[in-house]
Amino acid sequence: MINSRKEIAAEKKRCNSHNCAQAVLHTYADVAGITEDDALNIAGAFGGGMGNMEGTCGALVGAGLVLGLVNKDKVKSKKQMRQIMTRFQERNGATQCKLLKGVGTKVVLRACPDCVADAAEFLEEELNQ
């Protein structure tokens, strides 16, 4: 059972020391069995989401990376990722960075630190099952 680290992850994003994917993966590096430096490097390309705001929120990407490293089971990881994505969509109204940030709509659905906290919360729920 993992004690909640969602506020730790959110603070890493809030203070701008990590992108959203890094904030999640770095927070759970020990659980994932990697070093904190490796976490930063692995998730480094996912700032601004997949494809720089055009794709999936980086916090969700980070959660998926943790699942893959922890589970080492593609089927289980995909099932859990689907659950995380569904819960995130229900809470925030989108999973795409651009939509979450209000690019083109001028309506911000969720701030980055809150996206990180949500992805971490849902990740923990899956890992604690």
Tens of pLDDT, residue by residue over 17-49, are 999 999 999 999 999 999 999 999 999 999 888
Question: Does residue 98 form part of some domain?
Answer: yes
Question: Does residue 1 form part of some domain?
Answer: no
Check whether 123 has a pLDDT greater than 90.
yes
Average pLDDT over residues 83-93: 98
Question: Can you give the residue range of the structural domain that contains 52?
Answer: 6-127
Mean pLDDT of the chain: 95
In a 3-state reduction of DSSP, which class is residue 56? strand
Confidence band, pLDDT 50/70/90 cuts, at residue 108: very high
Give one word for 33, left, alpha or beta, with left for phi > 0 and alpha for psi -120 to 50.
left
DSSP string, 70-122: HH--HHHHHHHHHHHHHHHHHHHS-SBHHHHHTTTT------HHHHHHHHHHH
Question: Does residue 56 form part of some domain?
Answer: yes
Confidence band, pLDDT 50/70/90 cuts, at residue 1: confident
Question: Does residue 88 form part of some domain?
Answer: yes
pTM for the model stands at 0.95
Count the domains in the chain. Answer: 1
Question: Does residue 47 form part of some domain?
Answer: yes
Question: Does residue 22 form part of some domain?
Answer: yes
pLDDT in the model for residue 47: 83
